[in-house]
Amino acid sequence: MGKVWFVGAGPGAPDLITVRATRLLAEAGAILYTGSLVAETVLEWASPECDIADSKSMDLDAVRTWLLDRAARHATVVRLQTGDPSLYGVVAELARPLDAAGIEVGMVPGVSSAMAAAAAAGESLTLPELTQTVIFTRLAERTSMPERESLAALAAHGCTLCLFLSIERIERVCEILQQAGWSREAPMVVVHKASWPGEERVLRGTLADMPERCREQGIERQAMILVSPTLGARARPEQSTSKLYDAAFPRRFRPASDA
Ligand code: SAH
């Protein structure tokens, strides 16, 4: 019986996969990837005789069966997921039958598209005094969500929001944020295909104009929405300097200057 690994492929750029992930891809006897988002270039790490399949047209049962079957034949089986496997993947659903069959399961983290989007835009998601909290969420749609996690309830905190799986309904997102107290002029960043070589696009706007911009640019899928009081802070030097670099703030290896 082999071991099945849920591996983060990163956000798309072939060099944003972890070293650990590339080692597992190279030693894997079988790899199941999600063709829609994972860059095929990442599969170049696989050995020539590796059994590689795309799960795009498989349902959950077919994926489960595939993993169980390959685990019976190979020492290392990889289920490759975009970004980080713990976010909006289906690890629990896929691991359950493996657990039940006594097959060992492992996980390798990946660079999430939320992080890749912040990097593409050159933005900090936390800044002293502005916000120290980041929420990863999505607009509820067919997937049901606990009521206390409605976008309106979360947005009311005024902290940073990274919105996955929501670009198709960006108009609705902007409406809800305004109802939750955000200004029409609040900054918003949309990153399409963050980190994908030659395909990444960063759109900067406000809650008022972002839906229109996305329409103009034809951005309807594979995009991360960032909303935060920190956006654009690089152009506002008067705003919050981190205490970490404040001369009066004692740190472990550096006494405060007045000490
Ligand atoms: N586990 C993944 C998220 C999967 S859900 C992660 O950690 O990134 C799929 C959603 O992720 C998409 O709807 C989109 O909102 C976002 N996404 C994935 N890859 C992206 C990329 N390269 N750029 C921007 N958004 C991306």
pLDDT by residue (tens digit) across 68-126?
Answer: 999 999 999 999 999 999 999 999 999 999 999 999 999 999 999 999 999 999 999 99
Tell me: the pLDDT tens digits for 171-221? 999 999 999 999 999 999 999 999 999 999 999 999 999 999 999 999 999
Tokens 């005789």, residue located: 49
Indicate if the pLDDT at residue 258 is higher than 90. no
Pairing of strands 3-8, 76-81: parallel
Domains 3-108 and 113-233 share a fold: no
Residue 78's DSSP bridge partners are: 5, 31
pLDDT of residue 237: 81
The CATH number assigned to the domain with range 113-233 reads 3.30.950.10
Fold of 3-108: Cobalt-precorrin-4 Transmethylase; domain 1 (3.40.1010)
Find, among 153, 152, 73, 167, the residue nearest to 113 by Cα. Answer: 167
CA 214 to chain CA mean position, Å? 20
The domains of the chain are located at 3-108, 113-233
Q: Which residues line ligand 1 (CB under 6 A)?
A: 11-12, 37, 81-84, 87-89, 112-113, 116-117, 164-165, 191, 193-196, 222-224
Mean pLDDT, range 60-65, rounded to an integer: 96
DSSP annotation string for 1-34: --EEEEEE-BSS-GGGS-HHHHHHHHH-SEEEE-
| Ligand 1 atom nearest 163 alpha carbon | 15
Which residues are within 8 A (CB) of 174 and not within 5 positions of it... i.e. 6 or more apart? 188, 207, 208, 210, 211
The more confident residue out of 214 and 144 is 214
Find, among 66, 16, 14, 75, the residue nearest to 44 by Cα. Answer: 14
The model's pTM is 0.92
